[in-house]
Amino acid sequence: MSQKKTPEIIAEPRVVLERSREWRSAGKSVGFVPTMGSLHAGHMSLVDRSVSDCDRTVVSIYVNPTQFGEGEDLSKYPRSFDEDLAKCAGAGVDVVFAPSDEVMYLKDHSTFVEVGGLTQVMCGLSRPGHFRGVTTIVAKLLNIVQPDAAYFGQKDAQQLAVVARMVRDLDIPVQIIGMPIVREADGLAMSSRNKYLSKPDRSAALCLKRALDAGSALIDGGEVSGQLVAAAMAEVVVAVASAELDYAMVVDPVTMDDVEEIDREVMLALAVWIGSTRLIDNCLAEPK
């Protein structure tokens, strides 16, 4: 699977666009994986899929400041460029796009892309402005890379839904592909933010997966009330002293609207603070 090659490292948007256009002119398909670096097995599953689907793969490594709120973890967000690069090389990535803030946001930058509705719930409530930052940087990156397909992790399910909505609404000619959550052996969803967790926090963090399992089990057992399933998930989290629930919800996987009666596929979604680290997780579930 892994086809070692040295990716070209590009900092200039213009050069990435040039490369992408050269490839396209030569009839090559282009896959794109936008990341904030600190690459883990979740990211690499996206990269592997892109390398396998497309003739050329671009990975962007850019910690986007506009998707962090005041007091969030922008400055301490983990950065590991050399390791990330080695992983990209191992996976057969063609270009790593690693721009500076100065290039991505000019001093008088004043344009933002905003998706209404499904950004106003869940993580959008806890992190005002977050999704505006996400959609703006993703729009920029898609314009720069001009990919045929872009790969996103289902772990950030609301982000995936928001990006898909933006791409549809703005007619951006790219296929958005969501990939399954990758988990540690004990069930914790892979996240760059797991690095923040102390040993006891790491153990407390398992309550997210346990809560999802509890919710899924209820639905498997015939429960159809979204509210009851959400409450059962919340209960699992609340029982853990070092965990603080942000939200536990049963929602429509496309619109992120609350589901009252579980009569179709739904998403169980959680956000939980473990100490000063905010973790999210989710799964899909179908009524019997």
Binder among 102, 107, 171, 276 for a copy of itself (CB under 8 A): 171
Binder among 110, 185, 199, 241 for a copy of itself (CB under 8 A): 110
Q: What are phi and psi of 151, to 5 degrees?
A: -110, 130
| 285: contact with a copy of itself by CB under 8 A | no
| 75: contact with a copy of itself by CB under 8 A | no
Identify whether the C-beta of residue 41 lies closer than 8 Å to the C-beta of residue 190: yes
Q: Which two tokens stand for residue 20?
A: 């992408």
State in angstroms the smallest separation of the CB of 104 from a copy of itself: 9
State in angstroms the smallest separation of the CB of 5 from a copy of itself: 26
Farthest CA pair distance, the chain? 58
> Which residues inside 135-164 make contact with a copy of itself, applying CB under 8 A?
135-136, 139-140, 143-144, 146
Binder among 46, 51, 93, 115 for a copy of itself (CB under 8 A): 115
C-alpha 167: how far from chain center: 16
Cα–Cα distance, 242 to 198 (Å, whole number): 12
| 111: contact with a copy of itself by CB under 8 A | yes
The end-to-end CA distance of the chain, in Å, is 38
State in angstroms the smallest separation of the CB of 157 from a copy of itself: 17
State in angstroms the smallest separation of the CB of 22 from a copy of itself: 13
- Using DSSP, state whether 222 is helix, strand or coil: coil
| 102: contact with a copy of itself by CB under 8 A | no
Q: 96: which residues sit within 8 A by CB, 6+ positions away?
A: 7, 8, 9, 10, 58, 59, 60, 61, 84, 85, 88
| Among 35-43, 48-56, 132-140, 198-206, the segment contacting a copy of itself (CB under 8 A) | 132-140
State in angstroms the smallest separation of the CB of 262 from a copy of itself: 22
Distances from the Cα of 224 to the Cα of 45, 58, 60, 121, 247, angstroms: 33, 43, 41, 22, 19
> Which residues inside 180-219 make contact with a copy of itself, applying CB under 8 A?
none
Cα–Cα distance, 153 to 255 (Å, whole number): 17
Binder among 71, 82, 106, 288 for a copy of itself (CB under 8 A): 106
Amino acid letter for position 239: A
Mark whether 40 is an active-site residue.
no
| 109: contact with a copy of itself by CB under 8 A | yes
Cα–Cα distance, 108 to 106 (Å, whole number): 5
Q: For the chain, what is the radius of gyration of the CA atoms?
A: 19
Q: Which residues bind a copy of itself (CB under 8 A)?
A: 13, 17, 25, 106, 108-118, 135-136, 139-140, 143-144, 146, 165-166, 168-173, 255
Where in the sequence numbering do the catalytic residues fall? 43
